[in-house]
Amino acid sequence: MKKILVTGGTGFIGSHTVVELQQEGYEVIIVDNFSNSSIDVLDNITRITGIKPAFEEFDLSDRIKTADFFRRNKDIEGIIHFAAFKAVGESMEKPIEYYQNNVVSLLNILENMKAYGIRDMVFSSSCTVYGQPDELPVTEQAPIKQAWSPYGNTKQMCEEILSFTTSALPIRTIALRYFNPIGAHESALIGELPLGVPNNLVPFITQTAIGLRKVLSVFGDDYNTPDGTAIRDYIHVVDIAKAHVVAIQRMIGEKGKSDLEIFNLGTGNGSSVLEVIQSFERVSGEKLNYQIKPRRPGDVEKVWADTRFANEELGWKAELGMDEMMASAWKWEKALASKK
Ligand code: UD1
């Protein structure tokens, strides 16, 4: 059984990926420091798959602890590296923490891949590297725009580090640029667990509907879009998780065509904020309390993925639609509420 290290494996996308990996027969070891997740996730993964993943709690930006971990786990055959901070606004206030956590962790992992001859890694990147693209849908060849937040900058820097490192060393990487991952596992045992007030749209919607928040602010209705609200490519987290399994299989199966491959993970469909709200209301039967507010600084107007390269070359396609995303997010929110 191939052993895969999943860093950030108790987080939102990480936990869904661990489930898919286990269900495909991989042995998983998770490293996480619970900076934005909870220990209960381990039990909930086990409830879904029947297999308890191995787990170690430490911070991958700690060079000594990371080296010690790899010294004890020389049989790791591939790595999926999720562990990172991801809140755009927070990164403006805590730039050093963002560079320290996101960039140094990657370097520490690469150093040990080199030391122990671990060749394959899947890296979590983001459509944020495109900024506001000049052309839509955006392809992987679109120019990288100057980052406006330290968060976005860390993703750009990490991609650059991977580009030079994979050219120089026997290391291969697939960087997956996620658009907007939402939704939850159909079991409602794992999902997105924002600590504190959510920044992202969908957790804010479900928390408002369940009564944890009074009103959802819709940030701007004066964009150059059909209904005036901003457009994103929302994608089901389970589809994203499955893409990681395909990516790791591709590398282990020697199908990669270059040392660093980059793929967009989106559906190819853009939805406005109001369309997301309408889908939520339709599938939940709830009326959502929302108000139009000014634009949120730093938001782009519209972005959605050109998915052809991922569909054709990676051989993966998003399968679940907006209503399935909203239904699963709502089921998860209700499951959380029933535990309180
Ligand atoms: C951004 C980044 C993404 C990053 C993510 C991490 C872009 C294009 N995307 O996603 O790469 O991984 O942050 O957090 O830069 N909205 C509201 N009300 C709310 C919350 C959001 O109207 O309370 C709107 C936003 O203005 C936006 C849309 O909903 O138009 C989605 O917002 P959000 O879920 O925060 O994701 P992005 O900002 O697109």
Predicted confidence (pLDDT) at residue 340 exceeds the cutoff of 80: no
| In a shared domain, residues 175 and 280 | no
Please report the pLDDT score of residue 256 as a whole number: 84
Confidence of residue 157 (pLDDT cuts 50, 70, 90): very high
| In a shared domain, residues 117 and 209 | no
Is 192 within the bounds of a domain?
no
| In a shared domain, residues 156 and 169 | yes
Confidence of residue 253 (pLDDT cuts 50, 70, 90): confident
Ligand 1 nearest atom to the CA of residue 127, by list position: 11
Please report the pLDDT score of residue 194 as a whole number: 79
Spell out which residues line ligand 1, taking CB within 6 angstroms. Answer: 86-88, 126-128, 180, 199-201, 204, 216-219, 230, 232, 273, 296, 299-300, 303
Confidence of residue 93 (pLDDT cuts 50, 70, 90): very high
| In a shared domain, residues 57 and 150 | yes
Residue 329 structural domain: 201-230+269-303+322-338
Q: What is the pLDDT of residues 290-323, one digit of tens each?
A: 999 999 998 999 999 999 999 999 999 999 999 9
| In a shared domain, residues 261 and 273 | no
Please report the pLDDT score of residue 339 as a whole number: 84
Distance 128 CA to ligand 1 centre (A): 10
Q: Which protein residue has the closest C-alpha to ligand 1 atom 2? A: 128
| In a shared domain, residues 139 and 219 | no
Q: Which residues are catalytic?
A: 151
| In a shared domain, residues 63 and 156 | yes
Q: What is the CA radius of gyration of the chain?
A: 19
Is 31 within the bounds of a domain?
yes
Distance 296 CA to ligand 1 centre (A): 9
| In a shared domain, residues 179 and 158 | yes
| In a shared domain, residues 90 and 217 | no
Is 222 within the bounds of a domain?
yes
**How far is it, in rounded angstroms, from Cα 12 to Cα 223?**
30
| In a shared domain, residues 208 and 290 | yes
Is 332 within the bounds of a domain?
yes
Across the chain, where does the E strand assignment appear?
Answer: 3-7, 27-32, 54-57, 78-81, 120-126, 172-178, 180-182, 216-219, 231-232, 234-236, 260-265, 271-272, 290-293
**How far is it, in rounded angstroms, from Cα 271 to Cα 260?**
30
Q: For the domain that residue 279 is a member of, what is the CATH number? A: 3.90.25.10
Is 108 within the bounds of a domain?
yes
**How far is it, in rounded angstroms, from Cα 38 to Cα 11?**
8
| In a shared domain, residues 251 and 328 | no
Q: What is the pLDDT of residues 96-130, one digit of tens each?
A: 999 999 999 999 999 999 999 999 999 999 999 99
Total structural domains within the chain: 2
Q: What is the pLDDT of residues 206-228, one digit of tens each?
A: 999 999 999 999 999 999 999 99
Q: Which of 273, 275, 288 to mutate to test the pocket of ligand 1 (most atoms within 8 A of CB)?
A: 273
| In a shared domain, residues 209 and 124 | no
Is 189 within the bounds of a domain?
no
